[in-house]
Chain A
Amino acid sequence: AQSVTQLGSHVSVSEGALVLLRCNYSSSVPPYLFWYVQYPNQGLQLLLKYTTGATLVKGINGFEAEFKKSETSFHLTKPSAHMSDAAEYFCAVTLTGGFKTIFGAGTRLFVKA
């Protein structure tokens, strides 16, 4: 069965510091992997996705993530945090050919001035 684990329900960084949000998954077959961001009182929006091909994927707002099959990880990074990055971030997994997406529990990112 698929599962998604996000390490750390809360992460706090200073403005300008590196952002690292961790995501590990389990899946019996290669999945599609996603990161979504949710700003307060809004729906989720896609940050980036991995389907096939290049394992380092770039998304919106300067975020990127690397798919590491051997570690079953898909960690999200951004070199320099901005105040506007403060939000809830969700890692998600969908099996190819499937219609069910499993979301991680979410990581709340705080950015300090």
Chain B
Amino acid sequence: DTAVSQTPKYLVTQMGNDKSIKCEQNLGHDTMYWYKQDSKKFLKIMFSYNNKELIINETVPNRFSPKSPDKAHLNLHINSLELGDSAVYFCASSQAEHEQFFGPGTRLTVL
């Protein structure tokens, strides 16, 4: 009965590779998010989708492309991975502007 799930939990890859992270929520929420948390725990929003429509894109490089096939899923694809992409990526969901429910995170390490 997991609320927000992400796969994989860990991702180790070489520079230049392409990778995807998947997110699913079973809360019936209409809004989903991707956040990046750096090594100093700073949490920065990357994207937000409401009813499958992109509504926030926070100056993220074009190498990052979110896709929302339906309201319950929001995936993140990253092309040409760079060292600076190493971080923990969190998916979250909410009902409009109310509290967000976070997934367990995906720790991405780029070598």
Contact = CB atoms under 8 A, between A and B. Distances in A.
A101 B100 contact: yes
B100 A99 contact: no
A83 interface: no
B97 interface: yes
Interface residues of B, number: 25
B83 interface: no
B102 interface: yes
Interface in B50-69: 50, 55-56
Contacts of B96: 99
Given A34-B99, A94-B97, A96-B97, A42 B104 contact: yes
A70 to B, nearest CB: 23
A45, A101, A106: residue with the most chain B Cβ atoms closer than 10 Å: A101
A96 B98 CA distance: 9
Contact of B90 (A41, A44, A99): A44
A21 to B, nearest CB: 14
B97 A88 contact: no
19 contacts: A41-B105, A43-B90, A43-B105, A44-B90, A44-B92, A44-B100, A88-B41, A94-B97, A96-B97, A99-B48, A99-B97, A100-B45, A100-B48, A101-B45, A103-B44, A105-B41, A106-B41, A106-B43, A108-B41
Interface of B: 4, 31, 33, 40-45, 48, 50, 55-56, 90, 92, 96-105
Given A43-B103, A99-B55, 12 more contacts: A43-B4, A43-B102, A43-B104, A44-B43, A44-B92, A49-B98, A51-B98, A88-B41, A99-B31, A101-B97, A105-B41, A106-B41
